Amino acid sequence: MPLTRETPLTDLPGVGPARGKKLEKLGLHTLGDTLDHLPQRYEDRRECHAVADAPEDRPCCVAAMVAAPPRVSFVRRGLTLVKVRAVDDTGTLNITFFNQDYIREVMCTGQTYVFYGTVERQGQTAAMTNPVFEREGSARSTGLIMPVYPLTAGISNNLLAGLTRRAVDECLDGLPEVLPAQVRKDHQLCQTQFARKNIHYPPSFEELAMARRRLVFEELFILTCGLAQLKDRRSAGEGRPLEGAVEEFAALLPFAPTNAQRRAMEDIAADLRSGKAMNRLVQGDVGSGKTAVAAFGAWAAVKNGVQCALMAPTELLAEQHARTMDALLTPAGVRVALLTASVKGKEKKALLAALAAGEIDLIVGTHALFSQGVEYRDLGLVIADEQHRFGVAQRAALAEKGGAVPPHVLVMSATPIPRTLALIIYGDLDVSIMDELPPGRTPVSTFAIGEDKRQRMYGFVRKQVGEGRQVYIVCPSVEENGGGWEDGPAMDLKAVTAYAKELQERVFPDLRVGFVHGKLKSREKEDVMAAFTAGELDVLVSTTVIEVGVDVPNASLMVVENAERFGLSQLHQLRGRVGRGKHQSWCVLVTSSRSETARERLRALCATNDGFQIAEEDLRLRGPGDFFGKRQHGLPQLKVADFAADMELLKEAREAAEALIAADPELKKSSHRLLKRKVRELFEENAELFN
């Protein structure tokens, strides 16, 4: 039977059911799948050295003849050594294998092998430990640029390399091309067969670069085609015309809106009235007053007789928004309710019934708002606050909660995103930028301090409280959950509780200290936050549950413990919790880290209050993988491309994708059939993020 891309891996020699299972863990079922299992790095094993002139500073190949039968010694239980003496014209290579008794059976005296490993020299003799080896002339794992694959327990790199080798040798013919010929030509991209072959087994690094460039382009092209389609469909999408005058709404506000707020509201008003579905992002740094802008949208929707859903990333924030909206909009006749995961039983049933009957106009909540069983009578507007946590797929899924006419969508983000990333993440949205803070704010002064200044810092806390201000003290999650959907892990509980207790008992016995963390019941969290908001607590010890959106204008000092453990953007968010009122505010970053990068990062934060600049710096220092976890940006994890390194190519791919989608919006042409399927697969994979 000839091998094809559809051949199950378990049909291949050396792959039994057990290994088959393990390969499945890597997502590999058929031989064709292995073509997409890309190396994470390469080892240059091309050059073969004589024993005498093999370098010592890096692994290399040495060809030598086995001079005598391998000698086995049992050192102790669980430790066996096999010693092999190999020679060439220039010298002797002594090789030691640990716990690999089988070597004795397979290695033949008089045979020349190529050994790949690191040479160590003592005087005249050269030695190697646990090298990779094969008979001279095999050129399977030596004499080439060797791919090193991501592995799982029980699957060796050699096994995988063997499989990809067969796939490359026997299954590349007729591999369908996903990139349109013209795109390939315009952007000088190699063919798909060439790319697959050379990404696994490149004869040189030049070929590897060509292969990689094409695969990166392909990946970004598929992604941006999908985004372009989304945008296209949305902008063609019918939307319910809703009328709302900014001036009329402004009269409800306790302050005069800033010009930036006014512009954002006018943008929204124009979208709502247009008869097309709104898909707008309002991006503004922390404290720029996005809540009021969201309230305008909600007010306009309700005034026109449709419902509005306002979604926040955490319960804490949802609760705060519910309070704000209630205060602002109830006087205008808007009926506001709160739905989070902690609303249960009878209460929940009544709430859902009221929502379905249209007795609630504005529902505020977490992603629970779009879970199963939540029915709206007439959902006209969806607002997502802190949008970097609600990606493309989530937005698509929530839009489906609308009726025949899709709801308008408004997303708010306080996380400035490097422009390059924004291109992708917000690729399908119109954007309003709020680049102005409400008047009377003084910028937050930021300092990084070491443990030696801790007592002074406590003194400063006391001084602020003495002046009537309030203070946050934030501790890191002991174990980053990288999410944002759930609050902190159980470990937080101990750290925060213990620390708060210590502060209360030993440091600030005369102050009112409260604490909040992710594992508190939502009721308890709400009570603590309400007490802090009302000024009944002086110091709030917290995990990052307060990171986004929390608004207590009287708080003037933010202390961050173990600041080196946070990302810069996260620290910027935390800092944004103070400086929200008329008082001079401070942010103190406490760190005992000696690491130069950690210090460099904190210095960057002390030097500027510009969120965009910080985001760029964060991306540069941490790389995109850390900048946004998959769950946060809601975009597919990229297999080949790197958001930071491949920006130029992203631009090219995006332009090509937009041109293609403009010409063939639904990818109906037969030459676009495979592309269409790939786009769908990519976004389907992503849809699971919403569940």
Q: Using CB under 5 A as the criterion, which residues of the chain lie in contact with Mg ion when the complex forms?
A: 290, 549
164 vs 291, which CB is nearer to ligand ADP?
A: 291
144 vs 434, which CB is nearer to Mg ion?
A: 434
551 vs 617, which CB is nearer to ligand ADP?
A: 551
> What DSSP character marks residue 671?
G
Q: What six digits make up the tokens of 254?
A: 């306790």
Q: Is the dihedral of CA 10, 15, 20, 24 positive or negative?
A: negative
362: β partners:
308, 336
Which among 70-78, 185-193, 280-288, 472-480 is the span making contact with ligand ADP, rule CB under 6 A? 280-288
Distance CA 25, CA 29 (A): 9
Residue window 209-248: x/- pattern of binding to ligand ADP, with contact defined by CB under 6 A = ----------------------------------------
- Strands 445-449 vs 513-516: parallel, antiparallel or unpaired: unpaired
Contact with ligand ADP (CB under 6 A) among 226, 289, 567, 636: 289
Angle between helices 290-303 and 259-273 (to 10 degrees): 30
Contact with ligand ADP (CB under 6 A) among 244, 284, 365, 488: 284
Q: What distance separates the 2 farthest-apart alpha carbons in the chain?
A: 95
Q: Are 45 and 142 in contact (CB under 8 A)?
A: yes
218 vs 547, which CB is nearer to Mg ion?
A: 547
C-alpha distances (whole Å) from 69 to each of 83, 111, 114, 624, 648 are 9, 11, 17, 52, 57
The runs of H, that is alpha helices, within 576-672 are: 596-607, 611-622, 624-627, 630-633, 647-663
Residue window 559-598: x/- pattern of binding to ligand ADP, with contact defined by CB under 6 A = ---------------------x------------------
Interaction of residue 615 with ligand ADP, rule CB under 6 A:
no
Interaction of residue 288 with ligand ADP, rule CB under 6 A:
yes
Q: What six digits make up the tokens of 172?
A: 């590349």
Nearest residue relative to ligand ADP (C-beta) = 289
19 vs 441, which CB is nearer to ligand ADP?
A: 441
The interface with ligand ADP within residues 437-456 (CB under 6 A) comprises: 438
C-alpha distances (whole Å) from 531 to each of 87, 525, 527, 528, 548 are 80, 10, 6, 5, 18
Contact with ligand ADP (CB under 6 A) among 287, 402, 488, 611: 287
114 vs 292, which CB is nearer to Mg ion?
A: 292
Q: What six digits make up the tokens of 85?
A: 């003496």
Q: At closest approach, how far in Å is the CB of 547 from Mg ion?
A: 11
Q: Is 60 left (phi over 0), alpha (psi -120 to 50) or beta?
A: beta
Interaction of residue 488 with ligand ADP, rule CB under 6 A:
no
Q: At closest approach, how far in Å is the CB of 295 from Mg ion?
A: 11
Q: Are 646 and 216 in contact (CB under 8 A)?
A: yes
* Binding residues for ligand ADP, total number by CB under 6 A: 18
| 84: phi then psi, degrees, rounded to nearest 5 | -130, 135
Interaction of residue 258 with ligand ADP, rule CB under 6 A:
yes
Q: What six digits make up the tokens of 426?
A: 């917000």
Q: Are 619 and 470 in contact (CB under 8 A)?
A: no
Q: What string of H, E and C letters represents the secondary structure of 469-491?
A: CEEEEECCCCCCCCCCCCCCCHH
Q: Are 602 and 448 in contact (CB under 8 A)?
A: yes
Distance CA 654, CA 152 (A): 34
Which among 282-290, 443-451, 500-508, 519-527 is the span making contact with ligand ADP, rule CB under 6 A? 282-290
Q: At closest approach, how far in Å is the CB of 621 from ligand ADP?
A: 24
327 vs 357, which CB is nearer to Mg ion?
A: 327
Residue window 537-566: x/- pattern of binding to ligand ADP, with contact defined by CB under 6 A = ------------x-x-x-------------
197 vs 577, which CB is nearer to ligand ADP?
A: 577
The amino acid present at 222, given as its one-letter code, is I
When CB distances are held under 5 to 8 angstroms depending on the partner's kind, the choice from ligand ADP, Mg ion, none that residue 255 binds is ligand ADP
Q: At closest approach, how far in Å is the CB of 26 from ligand ADP?
A: 42
Contact with ligand ADP (CB under 6 A) among 212, 280, 290, 389: 290
Nearest residue relative to Mg ion (C-beta) = 549
Q: At closest approach, how far in Å is the CB of 667 from ligand ADP?
A: 39
Q: At closest approach, how far in Å is the CB of 415 from ligand ADP?
A: 10
Distance CA 283, CA 421 (A): 14
Where on the chain is the footprint of ligand ADP (CB under 6 A)? 255, 257-258, 261, 284, 286-292, 414, 438, 549, 551, 553, 580
